[in-house]
Amino acid sequence: MGSETALKLPVIDFSKEDLKPGSIEWNSVRSQVHQAVQQYGCFEALFDKLSLELRKQIFINSEEFFNLPLETKMKNVSKKPFHGYVGQYAMVPLYESVGIDDANIMEKVEDLTKTLWPQGNTSFSKTIQSFSKELAEFDRTIRRMILESFGLEKYLEEHTDSTNYLLRIAKYKEPKTTESKVGLHVHTDKNTITILYQNQVDGLEIQTKDGEWIKTKPSQDSFIAMVGDSFYVS
């Protein structure tokens, strides 16, 4: 009788106090990141800079958005594909999302908040900006480690200065059937790095370079960091 071992993503701890460039801890984590992105193109990350309260609040405020009338949600428009409101597509009837450009900058978030809630919604704007600011710092750490591991430190400042951040909040409706339904079709991300935080929904599957699929089950305290097409080297 044969046995089968389920593939699992590497888990990397970014919560260590001494995680500073040049330190022993930094070099150790950088090595783990290098191995993970080469082997899988992604990894599960432990990152404690976001408080438990902020993590809870991001889902509360996300639900506030999705409970808005459709005509209000559609006011979030963008000239960039998939950067505004996305939903009501026959091909992906279970999926809708909202993109918030420069979500780490309070003025940008407040502009969108005023569009959606003319009467104001301080909780929404503060939560979105605080959450995005911490993730932007985390993103910079990951990208710095990747560039360093390939000996490309001299491009770090130029690379960082050319970066813009998009926060995308997504919701998958529960299918009204017992049959399995696809929430979103197979795809790759076109950006540089995607950092995903899930509301305990075990729906994400990641394909390895060998063509095998990994069903991810991150903990409530962890994130999935994925290298996008813009940062990919074959």
Asked if 42 and 227 touch (Cβ cutoff 8 Å), the reply is: yes
Tally of CB atoms within 10 A around 70: 10
> Using CA atoms, how far apart are residues 88 and 71, in angstroms rounded to an integer?
12
End-to-end CA distance of the chain: 38
Q: Which secondary structure element, helix H or strand E, spans residue 33, and what is its range?
A: helix 24-39
The confidence score (pLDDT) of residue 17 equals: 80
Q: Which secondary structure element, helix H or strand E, spans residue 207, and what is its range?
A: strand 205-207
Range 11-231: architecture per CATH: Sandwich (2.60)
Where do the domains of the chain lie?
11-231
**Which of 169, 78, 76 has the alpha carbon at shortest distance from 115?**
76
Provide the residue-wise pLDDT of the chain in tens; the chain has 234 residues: 333 345 688 999 999 888 999 999 999 999 999 999 888 888 999 998 889 899 999 999 999 999 999 999 999 988 887 788 888 776 777 788 899 999 999 999 999 999 999 998 999 999 999 999 999 999 999 999 998 988 888 877 877 777 788 999 988 776 666 655 555 666 667 677 889 998 877 677 887 777 778 787 777 788 999 886 666 654
Asked if 163 and 219 touch (Cβ cutoff 8 Å), the reply is: no
The confidence score (pLDDT) of residue 159 equals: 74
**Which of 177, 170, 225, 158 has the alpha carbon at shortest distance from 203?**
170
CA distances for 186 relative to 179, 189, 206, 207, 219, angstroms: 18, 10, 9, 9, 23
> Using CA atoms, how far apart are residues 143 and 227, in angstroms rounded to an integer?
9
The confidence score (pLDDT) of residue 1 equals: 36
